[in-house]
Structure 1
């Protein structure tokens, strides 16, 4: 039977960089006439939900929650503890939630769309005879790496704990022309070895269930990662996932945020000259110690350029007020959280000083903004290499012998980037290619339409 209104249960990994793109997909599916039940952990539920539902074309997103298994006293920024607890407790809780939904409403869930970092949900889907689809929030090459750990062990690239045996280059997939450096192995970038092992084990478990799903979706494009996508044909790119470039969902840009967006930065940007502002934002997890924070503060002062700096409310490793109060004024604007897509699309933005998370990478590239790359952990180091060496639309920073990036280095790279017209030109060309994918007949749009058609059949 065709043209039914599907009811989908969507399950993101409980982290900002995972929730946001999945809500973007949810909004796009609502626009296509789907009903969405969006499941957050109870801890994140109140942080994410600004309103209980978003109505659109008679459909809605209904936000619900389940426990992650941790107590109020537990530190959920400890990814190792969170992964262990989720795997132990959440599958049975998800099953119970689905039973309750089926008993209490006329809608039966027709498909579970889960984050691949919640891949165990596909076993629940199979058990309950529900179709399944998975969404990978990182780059395609990171998916290929993570889903092929048995091969990496067999080929002597990593040991059974997931750690690189040597620093060398290796071939990620048979037949792929390019070799990868062992620095690409994202879980090895977690400095705490106990957390690293728990996170690695968790993802190995999740990857065991991916073949139970009918679809693998990814926030990328064929132009960005042609080699990887040609060797993993089941992974379908539906990116760039952007709300501000989609008229149907542009008004819903704030849904899914863990922090309140300070919209005053938009009117401040309106007062700045075109291509003048440094946008400085390091995502939801990056933390600097006091010395590094001080160096960055001094560098922003010395550039003598207007800047918009996102300093999160939970930025607790230093007394931010002692520094940021000194540089507030007409030239600089500091906010706790920003509407990033709107900011990056503003004509005043000259460059993006970024941690290079994949969402931020996609958003910056899609707006033609050059990068100054400052990765913090996991896949961000590979994304930096990709931005600087493959696309050539950004520069990285060099640290000193103590691992500190000095203010002089920051100022020098800012000046170098903003005086390089070739980088700006390449950035605009990448933007054009990416946005063509989400035009009406673009490849990513066509992939998404195929997925929606399957959901309705």
Structure 2
């Protein structure tokens, strides 16, 4: 017999996605797999309207990959931007900061709507690890909180050791010899967010590192023994550390290619193309963009550059004149998963994510 609202017989997992860059897609990939093997459990997926439109091409009651998934429903969370808002362009993470300021109240409001519609209170919060405030939400509801870290374990450990790293920077300023698992890293190898104690996004990462030990379990996009020393440190600091990766992204069957990237790649030789993309949030400074353009120009390899911005204004004119149209292609957006899976792509130039940190 079906349970009534708040009945322990009913399970309702509230999934709180971070709707920027590639965070929502791997979380949805994980949720789809769990939902498929637990059909009696309800899953409510919360993200921005723009993010949900990209993740759920078959509609908000689909599995996000075009398939039917009756126990998974998406809900839109307001992005916090006022009517008529246009990003200034001076701060690429400005939309993120606006969203985060409004996120706790907005998510709470939509969660109440989902609980009413589905007839069951949330019994678990499965969230992006960025949502440090979810610790309070889970505690107030007396339900488990399971944050998902979509990068690797080394980056996660650095954010949990931020205080120690800042102390070392203030004294030695060179290496991380005193932290097990991070001794091969130098200060210059670390993302600048670790040493920034003022800006909103670094503050979010710091708070995240402080509250993760409160989580019932922390899920990491890694695999068993990928980095034994780092993972041992994380297990000693967290109640439970779960490797669930690598989270392979599955592109939707009908992904837009309005700029003709795939037909262009079809004409290139196998493993000959350099694909360049720095994501939707972060971008190199002007002098680095110029250096990349010059390097591509000199290599003579064909290239595809997904360039967020005004290419004609920001790329060297001589580069555009010589390289594009003959052996290169610059587009404002590319179907990245399909591009990376194409036989013609032999190299990928990217920033590897703003919060990632790899061994030297």
Please confirm whether the aligned pair reaches a TM-score higher than 0.5, indicating the same fold. Answer: yes
Say which of 31, 35, 38 aligns to 2:45.
38
Equivalent residue in structure 2 for 1:121, among 134, 144, 153: 134
Aligned to 2:76: 65
Q: Residue 116 of structure 1: CA displacement?
A: 1.2
CA drift at 1:345: 2.7
Structure 1 residue 12: Cα displacement: 2.3
SS at match of 1:180: coil
- The secondary structure found in structure 2 opposite 1:65 is strand
Moved more, 227-236 or 322-331: 322-331
Asked if 1:345 is matched to 2:341, the reply is: yes
* C-alpha contact 2:80 2:98 (8 A) present in aligned 1: no
Residue by residue, what CA displacement relative to the aligned partner does 1:149-171 show, whole Å, maximum 9, x if unpaired? 34445xx325xxxxx55422124
Query: Which residue of the partner structure matches residue 108 of structure 2?
Result: 95
SS at match of 1:170: coil
Match of 2:249 in 1: 243
- The answer (yes or no) to whether the contact 1:9–1:113 under 8 Å persists in 2 is yes
State the TM-score, normalizing by the size of structure 1: 0.63
Aligned-pair distance for 1:103? 1.9
Aligned to 1:110: 123
Cα distance, 1:78 vs structure 2: 5.6
Contact 1:289 1:317 in 2 (8 A): no
Structure 1 residues 390-436: Cα deviation after superposition (integer angstroms, max 9, x where no partner): xxxxxxxxxxxxxxxxxxxxxxxxxxxxxxxxxxxxxxxxxxxxxxx
Decide whether the 8 Å contact of 1:115 with 1:136 is kept in 2: yes
Contact map agreement 2:49 2:77 (CA 8 A) in 1: yes
Distance 1:132 1:141, change over 3 A: same
Change in 2 beyond 3 A, CA 1:131/1:281: same
Q: Is the 2:223–2:246 contact (alpha carbons within 8 Å) kept by the matching residues of 1?
A: yes
SS at match of 2:305: strand
Q: Is the 8 A contact 1:281 1:353 kept in 2?
A: yes
Q: Figure out how many residues of one structure are paired with residues of the other and give that number.
A: 339
Q: Shift of residue 65 of structure 1?
A: 2.4
CA RMSD, 1 decimal: 3.6
**Which of 73, 97, 100 matches 1:86?**
100
What is the CA-CA distance between 1:15 and the residue it aligns to?
1.8
Is 1:224 aligned to residue 226 of structure 2? yes
For the Cα contact (< 8 Å) 1:184–1:379, is it kept in 2?
A: no
Shift of 1:307: 1.7
| Residue 142, structure 1, aligned to residue 155, structure 2 | yes
Q: Which has the higher helix share?
A: 1
Quick one: which of 15, 22, 25 aligns to 1:17?
Answer: 22
CA distance in 1 between counterparts of 2:272 and 2:266 reads 11
Q: Describe the SS at the equivalent of 1:144.
A: helix
Given candidates 275, 278, 285, the residue that maps to 2:281 is 285
Change (3 A) 1:10 1:229: same
The 1:179–1:109 alpha-carbon spacing in structure 2 relative to 1, beyond 3 Å, is same
The superposition leaves residues 363-388 of structure 1 with CA deviations (integer Å, 9 ceiling, x where unpaired) of: xxxxxxxxxxxxxxx445x44xx4xx
Check 1:38–1:135 CA distance in 2 against 1; reply closer, same or farther (3 A cut).
same
Mind listing any 5+ residue stretches in structure 2 that lack a counterpart?
Answer: 4-8
1:66: how far off?
Answer: 2.5
Q: 2:302 aligns with which of 297, 302, 306?
A: 306
Q: Secondary structure at the match of 1:52?
A: coil
Q: Is the 8 A contact 1:123 1:209 kept in 2?
A: no
**Match of residue 434 from structure 1:** none
Alpha-carbon deviations, 1:56-113, whole Å to 9, x = none? 46435432223354535474956478548735x4333333322222222234433211
| Structure 1 residues 177 and 184: alpha-carbon distance in aligned structure 2, compared to 1, 3 A threshold | closer
Which one of the candidate residues 43, 52, 59 is aligned to 2:59?
A: 52
TM-score (norm 2): 0.77
Q: Please, which moves more after superposition, 269-278 or 4-13?
A: 4-13
Say if 1:269 and 1:346, in contact at 8 Å, map to a contact too.
Answer: yes
